Every structure is written in structure tokens, then in C-alpha cells.
Structure 1
Amino acid sequence: MAPSRKIPGGSGRIPTITPERLARGWSGPNGTKIRTLADGEADRWLELLELAGVEHEDVLLSALRGGALGWLLPLGLSAGRKAMKHRFLETVLERTEEAAAHAMAGLSVPLIVQDRDGHLIGALNAVSLPPPVVASAADRGVPFEVMIEALTTVVKIRAVAVDEQARGQGIGSALLTRCLQVYFQLGFHLAYGHFRAGSGLEVFYSGCGFDVLAEQSVLDFGVYLGLPFRLLPEEGERIFACVSER
């Protein structure tokens, strides 16, 4: 089954997003606001992500503390995908681990949800193709230019988390909608993620409009994007995915 060609939780139409709007945010359920992370909110964002069982990688923490998460997104939203991709490539071509990590961090969106009383109650982290997928492709001799295209075309929903006291209000699905609106405007075409089978999250993601693959089903990027990448979940995991109409 092919992933759905729509924005989960949305009407299917992708509104134009500006860097200012991304920082200012959107209205969410029950008077909440969904926006990118602001100064001083990193610890709470990480605390919320822990609810989703996410381990904090050193690269993520370094980029977060240095304010590098999402640094390429405003460029893409204001100047377009071509400018964003060119700057990403320039950074990668510096050929150092630090430059590569900085480039990857630039494509990562950190979203936070603030309630009407100012409390931070939800978080989302999305990233470009994870390093193991990239390394596997490199080992198979995938051309560099194809790797760059994949890194700026596929996004992984790494974690969605909502404070226990705020669940059941549609905050998680609203986070997913805003995240995909950003990435699809930037020219990304495939969004995916995975979760533990039996956790009940298949109901959540399918209810949000994603297609949930059966256990051990392979997500073949070639089928949807013509890219030579395949993702096989670990034992006991299931993949959810959707494809942009653009």
C-alpha cells in the first residue's frame, strides 16, 4: 500500500509558511500555540521527548545547545528549496564531521506546544535521513548527488510527545500537521517514522492520516521517489508514512 498523499490532520492544501510564522506559531487545540523552540526552552523540550522514549544523541544535544537545530529552515522558507539545498551542499562539502553534523541539524525542526497559561506541554522532533540509513547507502555505492537529494527529500518523524495531563486534546495530531506543512513546503516528499508494535500507536498514526505498514514490512523509497533506499524496521517495530502531493 502506498503512503497517503495528503497532510495528516489537514485539508490537503499546504499554506505558505514564512520564517516569521514558524517562530510566531499557530493556534492549536484548546488555546495552545504550536511553534519552534525559543531560547531557554531546550531542557523542557528534551524532557517532553523523553516521554516518547527518545534517547538524546550527542549530536542532537550539541546542535540544540548551540542553537543550530533548524538553521536551514528559514532560508528554505524565504528563499526556496534551491537556496536551502545549495547551502546544505556547501556545508557538507567542507568534508568534516562537524560540518556534516551542522548541515544535518539545519534540516531538523524542533516544535513545542505552549498552553494558554504558558506551560510547555508538547514537543516534536523531525530529522533528515538518519546516519545509519545514509551510511548503508554509501556502503552500497549510492552516488553522492543521490545522497544529497535523499537527505533533502525524506524526513523522519523522530518523536511526538504530549504531557500526560494534556493528552486526548488533539495536540499530537496538530504537531504532525504543522511539521509536515513545513517540510512539504520545503520540497520534502516522504515523511516516515516507526513505533513499537502493540503500543497502540498504530491507531494514533492511522487516525492522523498516515498509512501504517505491517510488522517487518519494508519501506522502499524507490517506489515513491525513485531513490535507491530501503528501510527495514527492527524486530517488533512498525513504520508509518505519507507522501506529499507536490
Structure 2
Amino acid sequence: MSKGSRLRARKKSEGLSEHGLINGWADAAGVRVRQARAGDLSAIADLVPLAGVGLEDVLREAVTAEFAGAALRSGLRGGPDAFHRHLAEQFARSFDDPLQAYLHAALVLVAEHRDRGIVGTLIAYPPINVADDHLQVLPADVDRREAQRRVVMLGAIGLAKIKAVAVAEAERRRGIGAALLKRCRQIYVHCGYLLLYGAMPPTPGLSAFYRRQGFDVMEPGAPLDMWMVFGVHSRILPGADERFFFRRFQPGTVHPGR
């Protein structure tokens, strides 16, 4: 069996498809993990403070207008090439406002229980501020306009930040957070991402949780190097008392399990 055939068979066995993202995958504890809809936003807004964040207005608008994750849906239909083409078209339309293109690669997932409704959520997206910060470390003699195009595009197609994983307190320790992370990882890796990361507060048990999901966990305050994404060493720092967790992926790889 060719490499392409093996990847297609693996994808099929996992049900990793646009249909699955929209309609949901049956997963742990009687929940279905699926892409968020406008009607889920109130429940999501109630859950994300458990992760110490809020639900940004631009993300609300993107979910309501149904273009949040549109590039990822293209990738699930046609692979990384389709994903890249979708984002390239978005940048061509609005390069001076790259946030709109970045939102096409945003992933907002919910875990929906058949009886209790939305009991968990995950928010992830390419962090546009990291690409902007990276521009500051480029050599002074480069073509700034061309460098900006390259860096902004690399940030959109190679780097995703997990902003929040939140599960209702009564539903914890049932594998729901792990199910949300699994689908998040699979989708971004399938679309060709190289680095998936987040920043965690010093909550007891969080480091062990992310390590069980296959993430590396850094020491509090330690920087994360963006070399793998941008090809130039540039570091980002976590917030006060936070530590990064991350997973790196090689181009063209698929990780069906953890």
C-alpha cells in the first residue's frame, strides 16, 4: 500500500472528515465533539471563564457568520493543499487585514451531551500577534513588504494556539477534555500544521493532564522558540506564572492516536 493510500485509510478509520467536524464524532462519556454553531455561543461564553479567558467578539462574529474554521473544513475535504489554497485566497482578498484570514483557520469545538447539552469547549487559532512580533527580529535589509507577507502566511498555516479547554465541573474526569484535544490535534495536523501550543496557569494537575495527551510541558516562564515555523530563531514568553505546553509535528505526518 502506498503512503497516500495508508494516510487515506487511516483518515477514514478515524472518521476525520468535514462531515464529522460539522455533525460531530461520538466520543467519551456519551458526548459528540463537533464544530461550534451560533446557537452554542452562550454556553461557550459560560464555560471559557473556567479556563481563565473570555470569548472574543471577533470569534463570536466568525462563528455566527460561519466562516470560523472554513479553511480547516477545506483541508478536511481536500488535504493540506486545499487548506493552503483557501487561506491564500483569503489573504489575497484582505492582506491588509490578515485577522480575517486567520479566523478562517480558527477552531471552536464543543462537546455536546445527549441529555445535558454543551458540557465542554475548546478554542484554538493561529495567533496573529506571534507573526507580528516575529517581524521585529528580521534583518533590517530585507524587503519588509515581502517579509511581512511570508511571515504572516507562515504563521497562519504552521502555528496554532490552544486558547481554552474548558469542561463543566460536574463533567470532569470523564475524558471530555482529552476528546476535545484529540480532535483539535488531528484537524490541525491533517491540515499541515507544525506546532500546536498553549499556556497554562499553575493549576494543580494541569501539567499531568497535558502530558497524558502527548504534550511537552515547559518550566514556568520558559520561552518557546518559533524556529520550526518561521525558520528564524524568535522566542515568545508565557504570561506571569504560566508555562507553555506544546507538540511539534513533522510536515506530512498523521498521528492517529494520542
Tell me the distance in 2 between the aligned counterparts of 1:55 and 1:39: 16
TM-superposed deviation, 1:118: 4.9
* Equivalent residue number for residue 73 of structure 1: 72
Give the counterpart of 2:103 among 93, 102, 105.
105
* Equivalent residue number for residue 5 of structure 2: none
Equivalent residue letter for 2:78:
A
**Deviations for 1:54-80, whole angstroms, at most 9, x for unmatched residues?**
123232232233222111111111122
* Equivalent residue number for residue 249 of structure 2: 244
**RCO (CA 8 Å, sep 6+): is it higher in 1 or 2?**
1
Compared CA separation, residues 114 and 180, structure 1 to 2 (3 A): same
Where does 1:131-210 land on structure 2 (aligned, <5 Å)? Answer: 131-141=128-138, 143=147, 144-210=149-215
* Equivalent residue number for residue 17 of structure 1: 16
User: SS of 2:93's equivalent?
Assistant: coil
TM-superposed deviation, 1:101: 2.4
Equivalent residue letter for 1:109:
L
TM-superposed deviation, 1:243: 1.7
Tell me the distance in 1 between the aligned counterparts of 2:155 and 2:95: 20
User: SS of 1:56's equivalent?
Assistant: coil
Q: Which has the higher helix share?
A: 2
Equivalent residue letter for 1:94:
R
Unaligned stretches of 5+ residues in structure 2 = 1-9, 139-143, 254-258
Aligned residues of 1:218 and 1:230 also touching (Cα < 8 A): yes
TM-superposed deviation, 1:145: 1.8
Where does 1:213-228 land on structure 2 (aligned, <5 Å)? Answer: 213-222=218-227, 224-225=228-229, 227-228=231-232
Equivalent residue letter for 2:242:
E
Aligned residues of 1:68 and 1:102 also touching (Cα < 8 A): no
Aligned residues of 1:121 and 1:166 also touching (Cα < 8 A): yes
Aligned residues of 2:94 and 2:100 also touching (Cα < 8 A): no
Tell me the distance in 1 between the aligned counterparts of 2:56 and 2:129: 13
User: SS of 2:39's equivalent?
Assistant: coil
* Equivalent residue number for residue 28 of structure 1: 27
Whichever of the two has the greater Rg, that structure is 2
Equivalent residue letter for 1:167:
R
Aligned residue pairs, count: 231
**Deviations for 1:111-143, whole angstroms, at most 9, x for unmatched residues?**
111113151100001101x23212212233482
**TM-score (structure 1 length as normaliser):** 0.85
* Equivalent residue number for residue 61 of structure 1: 60
TM-superposed deviation, 1:191: 0.6
Compared CA separation, residues 152 and 24, structure 1 to 2 (3 A): same
TM-superposed deviation, 1:225: 4.4
Unaligned stretches of 5+ residues in structure 1 = 1-12
Tell me the distance in 1 between the aligned counterparts of 2:229 and 2:111: 32
User: SS of 1:93's equivalent?
Assistant: helix
**Percent identity over the alignment?**
31
Aligned residues of 1:114 and 1:120 also touching (Cα < 8 A): yes
**TM-score (structure 2 length as normaliser):** 0.81
TM-superposed deviation, 1:226: 5.8
Equivalent residue letter for 1:64:
V
TM-superposed deviation, 1:196: 1.4
